[in-house]
Amino acid sequence: MQIDVAERLRHTEEYYFSKKLREIDQLNQSGDKVINLGIGSPDLPPHPAVVDTLREFAEQPHVHGYQSYRGIPALRQAISNWYQRYYNVSLDSDKEVLPLIGSKEGIVHICMTYLQAGDEALIPNPGYPTYTSAVRLSQATAVPYVLRAENHWLPNLDELASRDLSRVKVMWINYPHMPTGTAAPMSFFSELVAFAKQYGILICHDNPYSFILNDRPQSILAVDGALDVAIELNSLSKSSNMAGWRVGMLAAAEARINEILRFKSNMDSGMFLPVQMAAVKALDAGPDWYTQLNETYRSRRNRVFQLLDGLGCTYDPAQVGLFVWALIPSTFPDGYALSDEILQKSRVFITPGGIFGSGGDPYIRVSLCATEDTLSTAMERIQKASITL
């Protein structure tokens, strides 16, 4: 019996990495284990005190029931304190903060709350594929805006203003940008807030990479008046090595929080209390935690630079975040071709930039979530494979 999938899924494919991991598993079974430099899942553990807190609370008998959809007050206050301490942003923990079961769910919550058929949402190209998927699931239209290296991977707001924006309700942005590693200046955020006010667009800023190889974490909410037109998503996945714990947050005006809760409260039954208490501990980390984390990533990034030099790629050494974005040699038609050749000849997987949109076609992206020894082994394999450049 054939049961058709809903119309909303007709143009929503399985996530690229979900399919690629199956291919990698097959290669692992047939020979040398593939070194996966594609996915940004931190291989480092959280702070030991975070794990201790989880254990301490999980052993208590009264913590295993349903929790508030808004998160416990201690977690909301910890998020508010974290924003004040590192972003210089004041948030009312009772009204302007909403913990999430990972920030990825927040992308869907926002789209399902504000978008419907006939609406449009501006999506960065290149950009995180989930923005497009979530917009399509809401049955709105995803409208890409091109980011260019010559404009420092920032949107051209004058170019956007020349379009018909009458049906645009939401604009997704993400700085430090994934996949290009670009950190936006505060002056850009100020211009973007003014743009949003002029055209009546809700800015949705996805901000999980602000602490990685970045000495000055920034939030769009630090701009005066930003809460009028902006929502910010954040996460402990990268900054606290807690990707699998699924702890994110949404910061917005009280009215936005209440609107999004109308959708979210129908989707889950709150976050496990011991995880929330562990997140409180993670958010209390001092600057030394981030300094130590970035020392590790900086050493790994230097090793990735060497790998890319060997492949004849070019890159911006000042990029930040959990990946390195690099332009491939002109001898390859696109990043897919180079990625496939490296995988087949050396059993090393590197992400083709085209999965992030057509603007990423001539690029590849390398994850920093691998030890220096693993990166050295990957370089040795690639060198032995004699990739034709």
Q: Give the tens place of pLDDT for each residue, 221-243.
A: 999 999 999 999 999 999 999 99
Q: Residue 29: what residue type? A: Q
Mean per-residue pLDDT of the chain: 94
| Percent of the chain residues past pLDDT 90, beyond the cut | 87
Q: Does residue 279 register a pLDDT over 80?
A: yes
Q: Is the pLDDT of residue 256 over 90?
A: yes
Helix 287-310 to helix 372-385 angle (10° resolution) is 10
Least-confidence region, from 4-13, 105-114, 192-201, 298-307: 4-13
Nearest alpha carbon to residue 262 among 109, 73, 125: 109
> Which has the higher per-residue pLDDT, 4 or 281?
281
Going along the chain from its start, the domains and CATH numbers come out as: 7-45+288-385 (3.90.1150.10), 48-284 (3.40.640.10)
pLDDT of res. 13:
61
pLDDT tier, 12 (very low <50, low <70, confident <90, very high otherwise): low
Say how far apart CA 26 and CA 306 lie, in whole Å.
Answer: 29
Q: State the DSSP code for 40.
A: -
pLDDT at residue 307 in the model: 96
| Residues in Cβ contact with 60 at an 8 Å cutoff, skipping those fewer than 6 apart | 274
CA 20 to chain CA mean position, Å: 19
pLDDT tens-digit series, residues 127-143: 999 999 999 999 999 99
pLDDT for residue 62: 94
**Helices and strands: H and E segment counts in the chain:** 12, 13
pLDDT band at 292 (very low <50, low <70, confident <90, very high): very high
Residue 366 contacts residue 350 (beta carbons within 8 Å)? yes
78-92 pLDDT tens trace? 999 999 999 999 999
388 band by pLDDT with thresholds 50, 70 and 90:
low
Average pLDDT rounded to a whole number, residues 239-254:
96
pLDDT bucket at 7, cuts 50 / 70 / 90? confident
What's the pLDDT at 32? 75
Structure tokens at 66: 């349903």
Least confident of 22-31, 351-360, 367-376: 22-31
**Residue 114 above 70 pLDDT?**
yes
Share of the chain above pLDDT 70, in %: 97
> Is 72 a residue whose pLDDT tops 80?
yes
Going by pLDDT thresholds of 50, 70 and 90, the confidence category of residue 14 is low
**If pLDDT is split at 50, 70 and 90, which confidence band does 372 have?**
very high
Instruction: Please tell me whether the overall predicted TM-score, pTM, comes out greater than 0.85 for this model.
Output: yes
Residue 357 has pLDDT above 70, yes or no: yes
- In the chain, the amino acid numbered 179 is P
